[in-house]
Amino acid sequence: MEVVVEGNCYVSGRLERCCVGIENGRISKIAKTLDGDKVYNFGSKLVIPGAIDAHVHFRDPGMTNKEDFGTGSMAAICGGVTCVFDMPNTRPPTTTLSALRDKKRIAECKSLVDFGLFAGVRPGTDIASLSKEAVGFKLYMASTTGGLLVTSLDQVRAELQAVAASGKVLAVHAEDESLRAREAEESLEDHMRNRSADCEASAIRKLGEKAKACRLHICHVSAKNSLPLLAKIPNLTAEVTPHHLLLDTASRLGTLGKVNPPLRRRDDRQGLFQGLKDGKLDIVASDHAPHTLEEKEESFDYAPTGMPGVETMLPLMLHHVKERHLDLGTVVRGLCERPGEIYGVNKGRIAPGYDADLSVIDISAASVIKGSKLHSKCAWSAFEGMHGVFPKAVLLRGEVIVEDGYLVGERKGRDSVGRQE
Ligand code: DOR
Ligand code: ZN
């Protein structure tokens, strides 16, 4: 074997002391003992698949004062995320093949992690030309950062038909713009009231009527009352963010907690937490949406929505494993296996044929999250002061890229789309 990784590995749904043999960046064999040209022995530490963050905004091109593919991917890999899917609300928006290819070139130059790129759906988007190269399509049913709002599904009827025909996932920001209230906001409670749980429920119902031919994926579910609605739509998958699981309007975050869809009340996040355990929510994704602190210091009404999260997602979830609120299987399923399956990339499992993307974890070693120590350009975190279990080492396709928080590997991130062979 070219490379052998030895440790307490998460294989076929359980932990076992074994060796992972790697050739050409892919896992080729798993056995009790293996010889290798290069051997990494991680002893009793856990070895889990690299996480896939299926929802990030790396702001590149166009808003690189907030983040770029270099800093965003550094944050990702330091948090055990080895593959990210980037959203299309950049400048220019990723709605044409040339914009998608320009973004791909940027990511190939700067990224430390593998990636997929979403294409945005709006009237006139040439779905067929984008479908071979995009990881999936994104539809915004409510206004938020960037200008990709589609207020009525009737405006994109033909485009949705083409998405269905392409077989790619339609990931949706499901809030009904017509039900959004526009009262002045001074607090997270006000923001939540303007974007009520009914906004989310109504958007999900409309999708069930008008887009059910697509492989629907509901991004960042925020209300517990949405869970029974999701179950009614066949073949739908759903996502939840760490902030909707762990933060609420009582978290005293001010504008730092202003996101779309909004943080809600404690019983919502408890309901979502249970939904994740029950498998009603398929994946956890960060919706990493950095804005500078300066922008967040605007008055509440004017402050932009979104918060960073790619680096803290896996560590926060692993801390809940350490505290026995979640089992490791739920975390690996939601952050690694299911995103890989849903978006059809060869990642997210320790099994022969998969990319050798691995995180090495000491589950007893929690640390306190400090925004200023994280790697996003925005350098703040709404999870400040909470605990996280950060990976000790992270491998991308068989190469150690990060060890003890230091970059030791190269920038070799590449597009994961179309590499299944
Ligand atoms: O809060 C949000 N921020 N929600 C989104 O849907 C977009 C994101 C952003 O890009 O800033
Ligand atoms: Zn988003």
Per-10-residue mean pLDDT, the chain, length 421? 98 98 98 98 98 98 98 98 98 97 98 98 97 98 86 97 98 97 97 98 98 97 98 96 98 97 98 98 98 98 98 98 97 98 98 98 97 98 98 98 93 91 60
d(CA 22, CA 105): 28
**Domain 3-47+353-407: what homologous superfamily?**
Urease, subunit C, domain 1 (2.30.40.10)
Beta carbon of 82 within 6 Å of any ligand 1 atom: no
The per-residue pLDDT for 420 is 66
Dihedrals phi, psi of 326, to nearest 5 degrees: -140, 150
Catalytic residue list: 287
Spatial neighbors of 228 by CB under 8 A, at least 6 apart, are none
Beta carbon of 306 within 6 Å of any ligand 1 atom: yes
Fold classification of 50-343 (topology level)? TIM Barrel (3.20.20)
pTM of this prediction? 0.98
Residue of 145, 188, 263 best suited for mutating to test ligand 1, as the one with most atoms within 8 Å of CB: 145
Domain ranges of the chain: 3-47+353-407, 50-343
Residue that is written with structure tokens 């400040």 in the block: 384
The per-residue pLDDT for 421 is 60
The per-residue pLDDT for 405 is 83
Can you read off the two tokens belonging to residue 295?
Answer: 């922008």
Q: Relative to the CA of 173, which ligand 1 atom is closest? A: 6
Pairing state of beta strands 367-368 and 387-388?
Answer: antiparallel
DSSP code for 403: E
Tallying the residues shown for the chain, one arrives at 421
Torsion angle of alpha carbons 128, 347, 139, 418, nearest 10°? Answer: -10
Between the CA of 296 and the centroid of ligand 1 the distance, in Å, is 13
- When computed from its CA atoms, the radius of gyration of the chain, rounded to whole angstroms, is 20
User: Which among 81, 63, 41 is positioned nearest to 304, based on CA atoms?
Assistant: 63
Peptide bond just before 339 cis, omega within 30 deg: no
Q: Relative to the CA of 87, which ligand 1 atom is closest? A: 10
Between the CA of 136 and the centroid of ligand 1 the distance, in Å, is 18
